[in-house]
Structure 1
Amino acid sequence: MAAFRTRPPSDEAARATVTAAELLEVLSGRAPTVPASTSQVRVLLVLEQHDGINLRTLADSLGTTPPSASRLCDRLESTGFLEREPGAADRREVRLRLSGSGRSFLADLRARREREVRAVLAAMPPVKRKALLEGLEAFCAAAATRIMGQEAAPGALLPLGPEAAEGSRPLGVRPA
């Protein structure tokens, strides 16, 4: 895990950036996503919330092209985490669904990450834990408003690629 800074920068935005990076390190650094890459986990998270979407909608939500999204899906299908099925109305359209293995993988990944966060939170005074949660919730609400230009409804999809606002993910999608 990366070494944490003892003295964060004095600028509020810089402090928030450094602190958020450290939170992400706790979430991802100690709970590897193997056998799925980080990009593949993003696909699984979108499908968890929007099961049965088509490839174009998935690509749009990831901020990528359909061929790139298709390659990600190919790899996820080969690991047994994703299933493709023909659309009911148009058999040429393919619907993407999480498999039982994909759901189990996300549940396990989420549990490992939550254990890491619990260990860190346990070392914090209760009043600081409460302040952290309130701050993170307020940050997410403000980010949703800024990114979407309006308040985001739970489960709203936001773009996830290079065209998306830096650091955004589908708001309303629980992190793995």
Structure 2
Amino acid sequence: MTSSPLLPPTAEAACAASSAVELLEVLWGRGREVSAAPVSPSQLRVLFVLEHQEGINLRTLAEAMESTPPSVSRLCDRLQAVGFLERAPCPSSRRELVLRLTRRGAAYLADLRARRERELHKVVAAMPPADRAALLAGLTSFCAAAAAEALPPAGDASLDASRTA
């Protein structure tokens, strides 16, 4: 992408990131299409959330997904049916269930990531070395900024309270 005198640098960078995301979605789609048990993007998001917040309840998952508990429950039903998720009694409350990835679900994510990385490796390998170094530096900074924006601070009381609720 060439520099545009009409856009401020932050807008130009945001446009470039948007284009990159769209191309990444194409590459990501290739990884899901060859799967033995393909999952929808929403189901995949459930798996990612559970991978990072093992043992949360349905309400907390719905909040993380910015959805409703009935919608998220249906996603979980489908994931449980293919063996990627399990519901277990909550140790602190008999009325609640906790959600966990199964070994099969974790293996699916590992396999998906490996396929995605192979696709990305092909693209990155075609880049000149200086551009690869710049990409690494830029993505490292981008990930840090995105994580600060998208993820609650460690020890966030609202998240901790919702995990026990």
Q: CA deviation at 1:146?
A: 4.0
Q: CA deviation at 1:9?
A: 7.8
AA aligned to 1:44 is: L
Q: CA deviation at 1:8?
A: 6.1
Q: Deviation per CA, 1:144-167, whole angstroms, max 9, x where unpaired?
A: 34456x8x55xxxx9xxxxxxxxx
Q: How does 1:5-154 map to 2 (within 5 A)?
A: 10=4, 11=7, 12=12, 13-26=14-27, 28-32=28-32, 34-147=37-150, 152=153
AA aligned to 1:32 is: R
- Is 1:55–1:95's contact at 8 Å kept on the other side of the alignment? yes
- Is 2:50–2:100's contact at 8 Å kept on the other side of the alignment? yes
Tell me, what secondary structure is at the counterpart of 2:88? strand
Matched residue pairs, number? 145
Report which of the two structures shows the higher radius of gyration computed on alpha carbons.
2
Q: Deviation per CA, 1:97-138, whole angstroms, max 9, x where unpaired?
A: 101110111111011001000111111112211211211121
- In 1, the alpha carbon distance for the partners of 2:24 and 2:38 equals 22
- Is 1:44–1:102's contact at 8 Å kept on the other side of the alignment? yes
Tell me, what secondary structure is at the counterpart of 2:31? coil
Task: Mark the CA change 1:130 to 1:58 in structure 2 (over 3 Å): closer, same or farther.
Answer: same
Tell me, what secondary structure is at the counterpart of 1:85? strand
Question: In percent, how many aligned pairs have the same letter?
Answer: 55
> Cα RMSD between the aligned structures?
2.2
Give the TM-score normalised by structure 1. 0.74
- Segments of structure 1 that go 5 or more residues without pairing to the other structure are 1-6, 159-176
Write out the 4+ residue segments of structure 1 that deviate beyond 4 Å after TM superposition: none
- Is 2:32–2:39's contact at 8 Å kept on the other side of the alignment? no
- Is 1:9–1:15's contact at 8 Å kept on the other side of the alignment? no
Q: CA deviation at 1:69?
A: 0.8
Aligned to 2:162: none
Q: Which has the larger helix fraction?
A: 2
AA aligned to 2:64 is: S
Q: CA deviation at 1:36?
A: 1.1
Task: Mark the CA change 1:145 to 1:74 in structure 2 (over 3 Å): closer, same or farther.
Answer: same
